[in-house]
Structure formats: C-alpha cells, structure tokens
Amino acid sequence: MTPMSAPQTVRCPNCGNIGERRYLHSSNLVRTQCPHCDYLMVSCSETGRVIEAYSPGLYLPGM
C-alpha cells in the first residue's frame, strides 16, 4: 500500500485515450477520469460497486 494516492494511468474505456485513476483512501473510492472525453467513473474499491459514472457520447459496452 502506498502512502500517497498517486494517480495511475489507465486506458479510457470510452475513447481509448490515456486517463487517470486515483484512489481516495479516506472514502474507499476509486475515481477514473479521462481528460480527452470527460469520462468519469467513481466506484467503491471494496465492493466494486459504481457510485457515479459519466461517459459522454458512447455507452459502456456490455452493460
């Protein structure tokens, strides 16, 4: 476990560009953001449950 919640680079599921994923340890949330298409997803790091999701233009495949 890292003491700092440094953002990880992840591939955006919406547009395929590089976004970032940040862990919010205080609230056990994971926030994934993409600066290219304004994709946003907030999910619980314990249960994987999606708290909030916003994907402009396209819907997530398989949902």
Which residue ranges make up the site for Zn ion (CB under 5 A)?
12, 14-15, 34, 36-37, 39
Q: Which C-beta is closer to Zn ion: that of 23 or that of 39?
A: 39
Q: Environment class of residue 20 by beta-carbon count within 10 Å: exposed (0-12), middle (13-18) or buried (19+)?
A: middle
Burial class (CB in 10 A: 0-12, 13-18, 19+), 33: middle
| Cα–Cα nearest to 40, from 28, 27, 26, 57 | 57
Task: Give 20 or 29: the residue with its C-beta nearer to Zn ion.
Answer: 20
Residue number, 5 or 56, with CB nearest to Zn ion: 56
Least separation in angstroms between residue 48's CB and Zn ion is 21
**Least Å from the CB of residue 26 to Zn ion:** 26
